[in-house]
Amino acid sequence: MIKLLIVDDSALMRRQLATLFEGEGDFQIRQARNGKEALTENREFQPDVITLDINMPEMDGLTALSMIMVDRPVAVVMVSSLTEKGALATFEALNLGAVDYVAKPSGTISLSIGDIKDELLAKVRTAARARIKVARPNIGGLAKRLRDERGESKLRPPCLPRGVIQDGIVIIGVSTGGPRTLEDILPFLPNNFPWPVLVAQHMPAAFTRPFAERLNGLCALAVVEVAHPMPLEPGTIYIGKGGADILLAQRAGQLTVFAKPENREFLWHPSVELMGRSALEHFNAAQIIAVMLTGMGYDGADAFTEIKQGGGRTIAESQETAVVFGMPAELIERGGANQVLRAEKIATQINLWAGR
């Protein structure tokens, strides 16, 4: 049995969520109306997982989460609204130690709760097995301070002449636990990093632009959401738009990165597998660095293994730091990882391979 604490100020939402989980038969459930009650229930009930709303009276979700991670750390899945404000609060929650998040349905709760049923069940069950990362210092902020002390400005390498293929490309696949893990890696790529970086992070469409903007404030490189076709330039980090897939194409003699509507043949989006295949269509495998980070499932494992077999360089995040060791484990089991590294060592290896 999974002991689950549902925290939400809406009685209807609590009842709907409780009914959803009780119908599965493997959950023991308690409820709390706000962050203050959640703290008490966390100590007394000792749940395996907490679903936590953000906007609540008396004590909001972020305040409660910060105290939970000090008092009794536990796997937390945030239930957040699909708005820019909700996205920013969710990223802060992930930084504080939340494992994952689910977009709260809009409109009539009783009619829309079914829209998130499968996602919510999967994420709560995954969270029950996940590695908990307690609140940590702002690593991205630390990297920025170090750059400021060294006098490094946020300048990108010049765009190469039209039609010229860059020396290489970095592609990164990531899912559950990814936003926080990416903040441990991307800020440590220097402002003279010579290659473009493509990131397929499983994330809702409303979240990817705020996420790219957040990373842009932490990184030496420019970080953009791929919401429309744009030239592939060295020294830029491209975040695949949620609700779409991130791909490459030659357009007017220029290698271009663009968002394409989800390919329903693939389970997760932006699809890591499709991004890897697209990279192989436009680069020799030896020109590719492929990094597989935390996440459930096997997205990208086949394409990344093909990259390694073709002479490319691949990294799988180690079980020691992965929130969920699903995607990296699949790559390792296929023999597709050149190196298995803790998250905090990955940027150093990327810089070495790219000559920086």
User: Residue 219 burial (CB < 10 Å; 0-12/13-18/19+)?
Assistant: buried
Structure tokens at 213: 């903007």
Query: CB neighbours of 234 closer than 8 A, spacing ≥ 6?
Result: 156, 157, 159, 160, 166, 193, 194, 195, 196
User: Residue 77 burial (CB < 10 Å; 0-12/13-18/19+)?
Assistant: buried
Catalytic residue among 8, 48, 53, 299: 299
Closest CA to 160 of 66, 230, 257, 234: 234
Closest CA to 76 of 11, 37, 124: 124
Closest CA to 273 of 246, 297, 296, 300: 300
Catalytic residue among 81, 175, 271, 278: 175
Residue type, 35: G
Catalytic residue among 202, 245, 269, 271: 202
Residue type, 38: A
Q: Is 282 a catalytic residue?
A: no
Active site residues: 175, 202, 299
